[in-house]
Amino acid sequence: MNQQTTPSSSSAADRAENHFPPPLPLRVKLLRLFCVLLLLGAGAGLWFYFTSTGPKARQITPPVRAILVEAITLEQKSLPIAIETTGTVIPARELVLKSRVAGQIMEVHDNFVPGGFLRAGQRILSIDPKDYQLAVAARERDLVEARYKLELEMGHQAVAAREWEMLGSSIKQDVDKNLALRKPHLEKALADVDAAKAALEKARLDLARTVVEAPFNAVVQERLVTKGSQVAAHESLAKLVDTDSFYIQASVTLAQLARIAPYGEKGYGPNAPKASVFVQGNPEPRSARLVKILPDLSPEGRLARVLVEVKDPLKLENQPLPSPALLIGQFVRVTIEGQLIEGVFPIPRTAFRDGATIWIADPDNRLEIRPVEPVYSDSGFVFVRQGLEEGERLIVSDIPAPVPGLALRFAGEASPDEPGRGKGKNPGQGPNP
């Protein structure tokens, strides 16, 4: 049975058909596509026009940034090397002054105190001389008596000689002629005179020794007696130290010793190597000279020992004020002039890099890191003989990041990146507006 369509169902179908728009005609679609292509072509044309006709940026080479450094010109030299070491001040001459005679000390010099200065031949003290004056008087009497006996014996000698002449033929042959002529008596009288003279000389020496004098220019290191002290013969009176010169006993390695000029049997003499002595806290050195090389090695470290002499160490001869005085036992630095080393380049130790290289500026003012081998070094310089040329520039200042080929510039020279300075101007750069 056929179902009839009701009016309500037909209206719903119409609404469904009206929901989708009808398809566009083909020419409309082509027109839209043409418009889109036209707009794209116009945009591409405008972009091409503006890019081809607009201003073009020029490529500029960035300026070279050179590092400012300090340099010195290398010179090949022949110069004496400096051997640096340390040492201790010791006396060049010291002694314990002793009494030659016994007695009571009657007088002492005002400078006979620890630290007091005494001149050579100056009277230091005197011992009571009365006993020795009496001894001299007694020995003088003995000498007079001995001479008196000698004169008497000379008279006896004359008598004995005449008697021998007169009685000689009648004297028995077994009688000793020497006894008859009193020869032994004469010899004894002469010996007694000589003994009396010696005793008198000894008494006079003892009397003279009651006055004690300084044997050399000295400073009193220690006083052991004073006025009123009773001293015996050979008793110690004081400890004296020579003030004319002090020694500095220093230690050097065997390699350093080989750089010191050898000396003969009589030492160095007037050609002794020069030396300088530096005291802590005073920049002015004391002039000195090397006088001896001791024959043994030090027990500590097996080092060679040398003696350096300093004249007038206590500055008693009105030396210039800046030069320091030296004290016994003081620790000092010593620089000794060694043998001549020839054909070397002295490199400041601060310019010696990593213990094996130096920085050189090449002809194009670029950094070259060059390895070198030193032949000798001290605290101030490293000496190099090979691998360098005279006139080359050695960089002595620090560079934060040293790399080979780094551009360098020096004080007083134009920087490569400064405009208007010749080769520092970048090619292709336009003039300043």
What is the chain's mean pLDDT, rounded? 82
- Does some domain include residue 249? yes
- Does some domain include residue 1? no
253 and 332 share a domain? yes
Per-residue b/e over 24-57, b at no fewer than 16 CB within 10 Å?
A: eeeeeeeeeeeeeeeeeeeeeeeeeeeeeeeeee
123 and 215 share a domain? yes
Task: Write out the H or E segment, with its range, that includes residue 382.
Answer: strand 381-384
- 317: left (phi > 0), else alpha (psi -120 to 50), else beta? alpha
190 and 224 share a domain? no
Three-state secondary structure of 45-69: HHHHHHHHHCCCCCCCCCCCCCEEE
Q: Give pTM, 2 decimals.
A: 0.66
Which range marks the domain in which residue 283 is found?
81-92+244-340
Q: Is 50 exceeded by the pLDDT of residue 384?
A: yes
**pLDDT of the residue at 34:** 77
Average pLDDT in the 332-342 region?
A: 90
329 and 258 share a domain? yes
118 and 223 share a domain? yes
Q: How many domains does the chain have?
A: 4
333 and 390 share a domain? no
- Does some domain include residue 293? yes
Total H helices, total E strands in the chain: 6, 22
Average pLDDT in the 301-317 region?
A: 89
- Does some domain include residue 31? no
Q: Could you tell me which of 250, 245, 359 has the C-alpha nearest to residue 310?
A: 245
161 and 180 share a domain? yes
**pLDDT of the residue at 420:** 38
CB 213 within 8 A of CB 121: yes
268 and 239 share a domain? no
- Does some domain include residue 4? no
| CATH code where residue 382 lies | 2.40.420.20
- Does some domain include residue 123? yes
- pLDDT band for position 64 (50/70/90)? low
- Does some domain include residue 61? no
| CATH code where residue 215 lies | 2.40.50.100
232 and 285 share a domain? no
134 and 180 share a domain? yes
The span from the CA of 143 to the CA of 149, in Å, is: 10
Residue ending a domain, choose from 307, 340, 373: 340
CB 183 within 8 A of CB 164: no
- Does some domain include residue 27? no
Q: 239: which strand partners?
A: 96, 222
The span from the CA of 204 to the CA of 75, in Å, is: 72
186 and 234 share a domain? no
**pLDDT of the residue at 141:** 95
The span from the CA of 25 to the CA of 298, in Å, is: 120
pLDDT (tens digit, 9 = 90+) per residue, 184-206? 888 888 999 999 999 999 999 99
The span from the CA of 298 to the CA of 302, in Å, is: 5
Q: Could you tell me which of 352, 343, 345 has the C-alpha nearest to residue 370?
A: 352
